[in-house]
Structure 1
């Protein structure tokens, strides 16, 4: 069996069998998780979980399709895979897929082991290229109606929270709204620096080195691990920007495999419980591609995380944050007074939902934006030329939460 060919019309009868076929393709193609990450753009931790046979449900289709393409499956074979994915996703609660045509499925049907599925007749296409018929199709339609009703109820919850339905949410990826536990205050941003000196020298002006790693995913959970994709030089600073959607108040932590200490230096939550944070670690240990970072947080339906390396900074000395609703034209943290000195580095992070993508004003340099459905995490930095009152400012029509931090 290769990624382009399937042996016979056999269909997977469970989530474990479907995932087992994916794992078999991976073995045949001889691809590592790192190579699959390079081909799909998905974090290795996400790929590893997608290939676990003990998972309770199949991964989202776009993730499965990306893995199939990375494993060499031809485009013309994808509809057959999707038919099986759909059948298993719509399976009854007992975990069994819908019966094949001709199998007993009524209460008065035969009891015992199910009859083997009939093979395709002369001139008929294989099972992978045709959907189930008859009663099975009616039952799938009933499941579809249930899913549509559930999606409508979910949309009503989002409308109640945000005043408008999020535009561009992908079908099959509902936003999971879960009640928060009793209110817990978010930790206050910390501007304390580690014992290492925070003074900047004339030989070491602040500068952005590059993006160390990033990830974004529609995944209801409380933690994520991201592999280091670009090595980090010893002594540099790591600045982590995070957007959590439909999140809850509570602690957010970031760690890495070398033991660096990350502190929250900016934290803002908008009216729809979308939370934007900036964390920083100074005097970092050297990190290589065998290392990783791990973020833990209260429940969130999606995450966006960007990790950037900066040189020439040793402390966070000020922060400001604000949020606004959909329908405006701009974002700004200017409602909080923030003083900057000449040569300070400012880092801004804006998390948005629907509306136009945020654009920082001209003095800012944009870093790579993370985009997932209608949600965006936009980050930028600037070196302040002279003492002044500072703010992270730009344009957007989206609902937004922004944080700005001054480093020196």
Structure 2
């Protein structure tokens, strides 16, 4: 099962049963806590039947007395991603992610050499995944993001009836991870949906792909960067990664209609589709598919098999594109020739941080100056634009920053 795909399937959906439960139960935690404790007690038999030791189960739940309300809130209000392509990529493929990735490539070079030799997976793809999943491990240091995996999955198993099967399966897998001794219950931390470690594996995927690459006897994706990166490489290799090949090519399209479907790179070239960089395709016999993630006005790509392998990590085209494009820039292979079509002038990463800081100085923003334009930043931009007589589109534009600089 892909690492995050299963979690994404329910990320935007909280069951009607759970919502009804929240509406009909009496106010206050007592009733809900009692119901949760009853669920934990009754689920013990299922876990033991699945091979979890009773002692491990009891230890895992020793300090868990109630569900995590933020888990259900995040599950309930996760919006379906409908933003334009540039919005997704601007928050993931940027100067800081590239610079940090290059620093990590230098820092972890001896281990990356070994991982690449064993699994045949491009080190820059692994670095890009690491960036996408946990910002090179920085996310693991944030108490507002990291949660007790056992509590999170039990909360979903108890409070989200529509997705309880997924949560219960993952909970048993997480308990078995504790049972192996790879990590103890106090350090079994993950996202609200149970994704864990530097490279964000859900428990069942951890069981399938986790690797003890540093040789200390533990498959520790939480504290060992070599284990985490090797585990990601193992997933990609076992799902068909083609060593020595890229994920795809940015291309320039000829005028007129271009056919769809899959054909060899040589046939695409015969139709007038060429690499945007002007370089030749590396292997004309590779089959490729044309994709336009930003529409005809944005960059075009011919993607080959490794693109689909990346999607085994997260089954979304945008995710695979972000990984591939970020990997290329960390490796120094160049940025896009044809950038995404935006209805405004793009800011650099440092300028986005400045934008957030200036919005905060004017009382519109109270978040971190992290250069990532999430919903809080967009709301702050829209509010400021309204007050300044501008169109409240929420775009992180040079046009807005210039107005702020004049204030």
Q: Which has the larger radius of gyration?
A: 1
More strand by share: 1
TM-score by length of 1: 0.24
